[in-house]
Structure 1
Amino acid sequence: MSTYSIKDLEQLSGIKAHTLRIWEQRYNLLNPKRTETNIRYYDDEDLKLILNVAFLNENGYKISRIVAMPRREIKAEVLRMTEESLAQDDQLHALTFCIIDMDEEGFERVFNACIVKLGFEQTMLDVIYPFMSKIGVLWQTGSITPAQEHFISNLVRQKLIVAIDALNQLNTGKKFLLFLPEGELHEISLLFSCFLIKASGHRVVYLGQSTPQEDLRMVYRVHQPDYMLTVLTSALSSETTQEYVSSLSAQFPDTQLLVSGYQVIAKDLVFPSNVRLMRHFADFKEILGEISSVAQEK
């Protein structure tokens, strides 16, 4: 069982620690445990309760009404509302429960319900990516464990692979070479890019995680892609990111390079003429639209 500080509860629920303490004192909402050194902490059941209370409170329930409800009634009402809702925050709430419990069945239920309502692409854009951003922050602050982050990431990765395999049409558009630099293992954005490219009728050569530059050059010579796409999330240092981008530009001067990821979005870099920055997936969809428009004109 995991343990949480009150700051962790604040991060996960969105309720300020000061407010949580008031609710604890006024309504006896929580009963924190104490370590041998008298440090207060909370367990999984406390976190689930606070998440449910926060959800109902955000949806118009007064705290005085919530605390008067039996725990099972609180849970049942939250489940009912999340199953009926299309609101992004409600789906993020449901997915947060899945990561706490490492609940694969719950994830499947939420994910499939979103696909029915929104379709695969919008589920990724409107629900999964905001959720992945949220858990990235929670992982960095220690509010969730690496195991919990890996659990959800691998479930999303599996969904993307299945969706890509389902795009079995014969594509005849432009050719894209997709890769991550050596040491880079965060593959979800690259996989979703692959899905968008194939769904737009273009071809993909997918190299995936941690691609050595020598292998990249060899594949480039064989396939001569029209575009190369990479996502720089964490493998490179701030000092080497500019060097890596400039090196790619120099090695592949005849190809349009598309780059994205935290290491390039959050940094003040100089991009050569054949390198294009994508800050959001909306930017990439715009690029795919431009390519399709040019193809139609020809």
Structure 2
Amino acid sequence: MYNIKSVAKMLDMPAVTIRAWERRYSVVLPTRSESGHRLYTEQDIEDLRWLKVQTEEKGVNISQAVKMLEKLREQRQVVPKPAADRSELRAGESFESIRERLHDAMISFDAERANQLLALAFSLFHFEDVFHEVLAPLLHRIGDEWEQGTVSVAQEHFASSMVTQKFYQFFNVFGVNRALPKVLAFCPEGEQHQIGLLLFTLFLRRHGVDVICLGTNTPADGLETLIEQHRVEWVSLSMTDEGLLPDVEALVRRLQAKFPTLQFVLGGQGFRDVSEDLRSFLLGGSLEEWNRWFAALQKRNEIG
């Protein structure tokens, strides 16, 4: 739970605006501490951030934005409608139980049922937990099954497409804190697995970082121009294929020489044997490590 001062700082918006939206439109309903101070949940902050994006960046007036938010909230509460599926909403629902049914729906090309299960997951759990505990393990499993020959290329592509679309829907929900450095995120040329990249990009977007996410198999040509034109300050690279390491190390060093102040963050098992001079850029795959890294980034940015 967060007090209004913390929320105002996180969202870079006046506390008076938060209180006004709360009073006039009931956009959030914070609880109160024993001393009477407002306390906001993670979901409250996400809703306020979404409204800020609509009003400040997309030119939507606040009353219309509130109506749009109400529709989004209704979608969060969607559960499977067919009678045969209602039994799926049961006591003790878990990440694993939803993940298993999503797996069956996706390899059966049943988009309607998969979307119903996704809506159920997001209505029951925090969105970051759904991505980390349901969707990421699901894609890893289907990828392994494809390599083993038990899942077809079409089935793997269908599942990957559905999950990737969900990531990009959430990328567009969060506003940007212009005080934070801009990040360029991609998988290097030859790298086809992007789940780690998508999870880290979601983490950054959730914290207000402006991210240019290029996805998988990104060629090196044109990166220098992009970095220069868009004033990129950090580059995030995700890689699982260790065979790509020599070329990627050469790319990082080339970018370092061209942009001496450019910072890097490297993630994925493909960097396991990275050269000693680049090891300081390594970042593990847990949310705890990401939170510590981001807290240090914020501190350095405030000092700067």
* Both structures adopt the same fold (TM-score exceeding 0.5): yes
TM-score bracket for this pair, using the shorter chain length: 0.5 to 0.7
Structure 2 alignment gaps of length 5 or more: 1-82
Question: What secondary structure does 1:205 align onto?
Answer: strand
Query: Cα RMSD (Å) of the superposition?
Result: 2.7
Confirm or deny: 8 A CA contact 2:176 2:209 kept in the other structure: no
Deviations 1:131-175 (A, max 9, x none): 122222111111211111111110011111111112245543111
Other-structure match for 1:290: 296
Displacement of 1:281: 4.0
Letter in structure 1 aligned against 2:196:
S
- After the TM superposition, which parts of structure 1 deviate over 6 Å for at least 4 consecutive aligned residues? 76-79
Displacement of 1:83: 4.4
Equivalences, count: 218
Equivalent runs, 1:97-112 vs 2, <5 Å = 97-112=104-119
CA distance in 2 between partners of 1:173 and 1:86 (Å): 38
Greater CA drift, 184-193 or 120-129: 184-193
Deviations 1:210-242 (A, max 9, x none): 3322311111222342210111234xx62x413
- TM-score, length-scaled by structure 1: 0.64
Other-structure match for 1:57: none
- TM-score, length-scaled by structure 2: 0.63
Identity %: 22
Other-structure match for 1:164: 171
1:256 aligns to 2:260 (yes or no): no
Letter in structure 2 aligned against 1:183:
G
| Residues 246 and 175 of structure 1, relative CA distance in 2, 3 Å threshold | same
Match for 1:141 among 130, 134, 148?
148
| Residues 204 and 296 of structure 1, relative CA distance in 2, 3 Å threshold | same
Match for 2:127 among 102, 106, 120?
120
Confirm or deny: 8 A CA contact 2:186 2:215 kept in the other structure: yes
The structure having more radius of gyration, on CA atoms, is 1
Other-structure match for 2:193: 186
Other-structure match for 2:282: 277
Displacement of 1:119: 2.1
Match for 1:268 among 264, 273, 282?
273
Structure 1 alignment gaps of length 5 or more: 1-75
Other-structure match for 1:42: none
Greater CA drift, 179-188 or 208-217: 179-188
